[in-house]
Amino acid sequence: MHRIFTTSVASVYPHYVTKVERKGRTRAELDEVVTWLTGYDRDQVEQHLADGTTFADFFAGATLNPGVSLITGSVCGVKVQEVEDPLMRQIRYLDKLVDELAKGRPMHKVLRVPTT
């Protein structure tokens, strides 16, 4: 089992906030990304952070957005779509979305909203 699986989301979340804010994005935008990915609402995310929920438990209770299959690309040199472990892939999806948000990608593209 990888160490990140038993790490609390609350211990990593401030780093996500710092990363996106340093690049001119907001915590509200980060929360929008997290809720889009996991299906949790804002209050549920806050409760998980307060409870110290591990990544394993956080994603075990999540209902992933059907658009996750559209998340492609690399995080730390590893293509997210090629990660074999389902939990690690979900964590990498989150990392990829945070990276895209921090890089200034438009929100509709981060959230894989189809253009009409």
pLDDT digits (tens, 9 = 90+) for 96-112: 999 999 999 999 999 99
**Three-point CA angle 43, 44, 50, nearest 5°:** 90
pLDDT digits (tens, 9 = 90+) for 7-49: 999 999 999 999 999 999 999 999 999 999 999 999 999 999 9
pLDDT for res 116: 59
CA distances from 112 to 14, 42, 45, 49 (A): 24, 20, 21, 25
Mean pLDDT in residue range 73-91: 91
What's the pTM? 0.93
Domains for the chain: give ranges and CATH numbers.
Answer: 3-106 (1.10.8.290)
- Taking the C-alpha atoms of residue 81 and residue 75, their distance in angstroms, rounded to an integer, is 10
